[in-house]
Homo-oligomer: A and B are copies of this chain.
Amino acid sequence: MQARIHVTLKNGVLDPQGKAIHHALAGLGFAGVEDVRQGKYLELELADQDRAAAEQQLRQMCEQLLANTVIESYAIELDGEAVA
Closest to A39 in B: B41
With an 8 Å Cβ cutoff, the count of chain A residues facing the other chain is 33
A52 to chain B: closest CB distance in Å? 14
Interface string of A17-38 (1 = CB under 8 A from B): 0100100110010111111111
Q: Is A81 an interface residue (CB 8 A)?
A: no
Task: List, sorted by A's number, 10 A–B pairs whose CB atoms are closer than 8 Å.
Answer: A6-B41, A25-B65, A30-B60, A30-B61, A32-B46, A33-B44, A33-B46, A34-B45, A37-B42, A38-B43
Q: A28-B65, A65-B25, A65-B28 are in contact. Are A45 and B39 (CB under 8 A)?
A: no
Q: For residue A39, which residues in chain B have a CB less than 8 angstroms away from its CB? A: 40-43
